[in-house]
């Protein structure tokens, strides 16, 4: 009997033909043939084409596996874990038991943990981010004009250039900047492969790293596999790896009756679509208020303030008149990975606008404020003390235009932020976490790469959409597949573009705002709001009216200028003269960098510090803290008195704690370990005294074990992760404590006298989840 197994993957259709000749007394099936077909977002056409080369009547049974697409076909099908179990039983090496199988596919990396009988006992998977997956890798090398064959031929010994394992859109910036600096493509590709291997190793943290089997299309990435071999002894890469699940479906078909199929065109269900429809964007036009403002004219004798917003994608600048906050000049341009260069271009453009109206000597600039992700380096270049975070800047601008605003949605190029305002002051805040979904880059990259649309064209096309498909909060690396699938399903071009606009707002709502509150007056800010379709999509999703301020892309620069004005008027910042010509022509040079030694605080981070030379002065720049910024401005803080957390720890664990007998022979009843977690940070003096009086020697964990944190079985808050880390350090100490004391808290007295107060569920459950 012959069987055909089909795997409808996220990016590839794979097929395996098996034949079992029971009459000859051979039970083990033979692989007759196999094939892989990239479907490029059109699995239907690809599958029909692939099946067209076969005589379907020659197969006694046909079965399929996969995730999304298998629901749209008239074939007997099984889940991917079932197919993995069948395939593993067929190719399992004799005498070797694999603790896990890694399925490294186009859109997901998964780990199937196996029990002693080869059955799946657990499934480990990462988040929805595409970073490090097969499709992610193919997109990156395509952007560098590198073929998969070229990447496979490069020696694994090539020194890998470190690239971020962040979002695909952000990683593109890393790769582009590296190649622009002359880094060989082989090194960048090696860096990508090493990062992919790191993603797999991260999933295997809780699995014994020996004899791991790896399957999926990415096993053809020899560089990635070589990196994995260095970390996993006995790594098994079966020849059937690229079509592993398809083989499992074919094996299952040999043992089970399947739906008979004779014609490839008849296997698809009719009237089904992959996408639900959303309301037309134009129907929410009445819920949007677009505010406007006029730009005033520069006049001789004006006293002004310059605002600069150096973002990851774009850099903006405004010239503000101090007397009436009038906007006199502005510029909006690309950062292109060079914040200082972009800042200088902004100064030059503002300078041109001023000189068209008057002599430069007739203008006085008394303050310069900088915000945005590049604010520190741009602020150093400008030699200004007014470096402000963009939360304050955007909130100040929003409140200026409407004092009643209470919610700000800010969507930038690579950052998206949520701010809640109480009485004109930001009181809550959230930001995207290393994911471009919900940012301008997501919309721009997806529209250009998949639809050939420039950013400026998106709005007009999207507003013509009548039935936008629901792409949900799809990852930027996968949206291209969904777009192609929608095209092949016959969905109109205008509807697809509208669905893409919806996707950015869904991503923002789900990944940035989350379950945080929305007030009664919402401002939508950021450069993406020049696309008028975006606020309409946001109004549809939130069900609330949306206000777009004038020049939404300039709100950061405008707001930081307002902040500087307020500080000067309040006497918090002294007036300082700034010259546009000097700023535009000021160059920087880089000296030899060094590693920070930590100072008297004995910090061990060893941050790399750059030496930047400006106008003959050398400035240390960088690091995770303000150490060198404080040295540059001669700011000294009484750290010992300001570090109240350290002071409290000393009171709880040293001054008021009982140490008990210091030696084992003096401890009548031995040692007792107490975890340094949660409310132990308050009640340790009680516990240590109690057990010392009983004759025990209290023992605390010395440090946080990252291996312990990796043992958590579910996402936890950071204090609960520390609990895992400290507890692992405690039980693996040499020598370990003879007894362990884990207090179980259900409630504690409340300061207001309430007797029904309850502690956090994680605190209540600590004694249980640490035991597992």
At 517-544, the pLDDT tens digits run 999 999 999 988 999 999 999 999 999 9
Whether the predicted pLDDT of 450 surpasses 70: yes
Whether the predicted pLDDT of 321 surpasses 60: yes
CA 458/CA 460 separation, integer angstroms: 6
Mean predicted confidence (pLDDT) in 317-326:
95
Give the per-residue pLDDT at 27.
Answer: 72
Query: Which of 166, 165, 170, 175 is closest to 143 using CA atoms?
Result: 175
Give the per-residue pLDDT at 708.
Answer: 87
Residue with tokens 């079965």: 63
The CATH homologous superfamily for domain 109-235 is: ATPase, nucleotide binding domain (3.30.420.40)
Give the per-residue pLDDT at 80.
Answer: 92
The percent of residues above 70 in pLDDT, for the chain, comes to 91
At 361, list the tokens: 């000597």
Q: Is 241 helix (H, G, I), strand (E, B) or coil?
A: helix
- Sequence spans of domains, the chain: 2-93+245-266, 109-235, 290-401+556-585, 407-551, 588-636, 645-769
CATH number belonging to the domain at 407-551, selected among 3.40.50.300, 3.10.20.440, 1.10.3720.10, 3.30.420.40: 3.30.420.40
Q: Do domains 2-93+245-266 and 407-551 have the same CATH topology?
A: yes
State the chain's mean pLDDT as an integer: 87
Could you tell me if 607 and 624 are in contact, meaning their C-beta atoms sit under 8 angstroms apart?
yes
Could you tell me if 110 and 123 are in contact, meaning their C-beta atoms sit under 8 angstroms apart?
yes
Q: What number of H helices and E strands is found in the chain?
A: 26, 27
For 375-426, how does the pLDDT look when each residue is reduced to its tens digit (9 = 90+)?
999 999 999 999 999 999 999 999 999 999 999 999 987 788 999 999 999 9
For 606-627, how does the pLDDT look when each residue is reduced to its tens digit (9 = 90+)?
888 889 999 989 999 888 888 8
Pick 726 or 452 by higher pLDDT.
726
**DSSP H helical ranges for 365-492:** 375-382, 390-401, 440-451, 458-462, 479-488
Give the per-residue pLDDT at 707.
Answer: 84
pLDDT band at 11 (very low <50, low <70, confident <90, very high): confident
Mean predicted confidence (pLDDT) in 331-349:
91
At 378, list the tokens: 């741009």
Give the per-residue pLDDT at 659.
Answer: 72
Instruction: Provide long-range contacts, Cβ within 8 A and 24+ apart, for 161-165.
Output: 161/187, 161/188, 161/190, 161/191, 162/191, 163/188, 163/191, 163/192, 163/195, 164/195, 164/434, 165/131, 165/132, 165/195, 165/198, 165/199
Whether the predicted pLDDT of 663 surpasses 60: no
Mean predicted confidence (pLDDT) in 293-322:
92
Give the per-residue pLDDT at 460.
Answer: 93
Query: Which of 313, 318, 327 is closest to 372 using CA atoms?
Result: 313
Give the per-residue pLDDT at 664.
Answer: 47
CA 354/CA 330 separation, integer angstroms: 10
For domain 290-401+556-585, is the CATH number 3.40.50.10860?
no
Strand partners, 612: 590, 619
For domain 2-93+245-266, is the CATH number 2.60.40.10?
no
Pick 174 or 340 by higher pLDDT.
340
Whether the predicted pLDDT of 604 surpasses 90: no
Whether the predicted pLDDT of 665 surpasses 70: no
Strand partners, 277: 469
Whether the predicted pLDDT of 766 surpasses 50: yes
Please state the length of the chain.
772
Give the per-residue pLDDT at 94.
Answer: 87
Cβ-based neighbours of 216, under 8 Å, separated by 6 or more: 102, 103, 104, 105, 134, 241, 242, 244
Q: How far apart are the first and last CA of the chain?
A: 48
């Amino acid at each position: 009997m012959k069987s055909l197994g089909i795997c409808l993957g996220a990016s590839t259709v794979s097929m395996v033909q098996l034949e079992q000749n029971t009459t000859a007394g051979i039970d083990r099936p033979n692989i007759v043939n196999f094939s892989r077909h990239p479907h490029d977002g059109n699995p239907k056409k690809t599958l029909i084409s692939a099946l067209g080369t076969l005589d379907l009547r020659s197969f006694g049974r046909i079965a399929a596996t996969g995730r999304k697409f298998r629901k749209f076909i008239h074939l007997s099908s099984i889940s991917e874990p079932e197919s993995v179990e069948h395939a593993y039983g067929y190719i399992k090496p004799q005498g070797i038991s694999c603790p896990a199988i890694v399925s490294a596919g186009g859109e997901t990396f998964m780990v199937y943990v196996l029990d002693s009988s080869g059955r799946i006992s657990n499934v480990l998977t990462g988040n929805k981010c595409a970073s490090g997956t097969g499709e992610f890798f193919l997109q990156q090398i395509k952007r560098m004009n590198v073929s998969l064959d070229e990447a496979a031929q490069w020696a694994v010994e090539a020194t890998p250039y470190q690239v971020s394992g962040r979002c695909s859109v952000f990683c593109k910036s890393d790769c582009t900047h590296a190649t622009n600096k002359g880094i060989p493509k082989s090194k960048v590709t090696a860096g990508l492969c090493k990062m992919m291997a790191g993603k797999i190793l991260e999933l295997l943290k809780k699995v014994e790293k020996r004899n791991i089997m790896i399957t999926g299309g990415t096993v053809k990435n020899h560089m990635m596999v070589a990196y994995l071999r260095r970390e996993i002894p006995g790594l098994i890469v079966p020849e059937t790896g690229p079509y592993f699940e398809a083989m499992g479906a074919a094996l299952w078909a040999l043992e089970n009756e399947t739906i008979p199929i004779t014609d490839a065109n008849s296997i698809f269900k009719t009237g089904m679509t992959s996408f639900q429809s959303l309301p037309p964007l134009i129907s929410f036009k009445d819920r949007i208020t677009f505010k406007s403002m006029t730009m005033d004219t520069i006049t001789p004798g004006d006293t002004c303030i310059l605002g600069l917003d150096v973002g990851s994608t774009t850099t903006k600048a405004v010239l503000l008149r101090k007397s009436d906050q009038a906007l006199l000049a502005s510029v909006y341009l690309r950062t292109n990975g060079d914040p200082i260069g972009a800042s200088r271009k902004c100064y030059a453009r503002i300078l041109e606008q001023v000189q068209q109206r008057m002599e430069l000597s007739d203008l006085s600039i008394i303050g310069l404020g900088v915000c945005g992700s590049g604010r520190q380096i741009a602020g150093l270049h400008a030699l200004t003390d007014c470096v402000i975070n963009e939360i304050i800047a955007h909130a100040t601008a929003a409140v200026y235009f409407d004092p009643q605003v209470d919610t700000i949605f800010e969507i930038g190029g690579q950052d998206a932020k949520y701010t809640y305002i109480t009485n004109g002051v930001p009181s809550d805040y959230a930001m995207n976490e290393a994911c471009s979904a919900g940012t301008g880059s997501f919309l721009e990259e997806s529209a250009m790469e998949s639809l050939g649309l420039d950013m400026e064209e998106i709005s007009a096309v999207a507003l013509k959409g009548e039935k936008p498909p629901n792409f949900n909060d799809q990852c930027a690396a996968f949206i291209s597949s969904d777009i192609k699938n929608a095209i092949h399903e016959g969905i109109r071009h205008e509807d697809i573009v509208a669905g893409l606009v919806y996707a950015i707002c869904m991503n923002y709502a789900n990944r940035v705002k989350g379950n945080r509150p929305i007030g009664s007056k919402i401002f939508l800010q950021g450069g993406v709001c020049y696309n008028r379709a975006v606020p309409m999509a946001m109004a549809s999703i939130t069900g609330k009216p949306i206000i777009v301020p004038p020049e939404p892309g300039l709100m950061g620069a405008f707001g930081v200028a307002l902040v500087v004005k307020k500080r000067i008027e309040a006497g918090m910042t002294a007036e300082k003269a700034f010259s546009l010509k000097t700023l535009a022509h000021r160059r920087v040079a880089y000296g030899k960098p060094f590693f920070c030694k930590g100072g008297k605080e004995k910090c061990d981070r060893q941050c790399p510090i750059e030496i930047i030379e400006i106008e003959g002065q050398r400035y240390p720049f960088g690091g995770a803290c303000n150490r060198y910024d404080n040295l540059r401005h001669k700011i000294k803080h009484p750290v010992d008195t300001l570090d109240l957390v350290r002071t409290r720890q000393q009171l709880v664990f040293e001054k008021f704690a009982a140490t008990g007998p210091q030696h084992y022979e003096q401890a009548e009843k031995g040692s007792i370990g107490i975890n340094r977690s949660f409310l132990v940070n308050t009640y340790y003096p009680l516990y240590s005294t109690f057990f010392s009086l009983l004759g025990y020697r209290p023992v605390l964990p010395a440090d946080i074990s990252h291996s312990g944190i990796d043992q958590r079985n579910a996402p936890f808050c950071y204090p609960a992760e520390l609990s895992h880390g400290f507890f692992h350090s405690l039980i693996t100490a040499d020598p370990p404590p003879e007894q362990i004391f884990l207090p179980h808290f259900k409630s504690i007295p409340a300061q207001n006298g309430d007797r029904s107060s309850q502690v956090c569920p994680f605190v209540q459950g600590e004694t249980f989840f640490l035991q597992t």
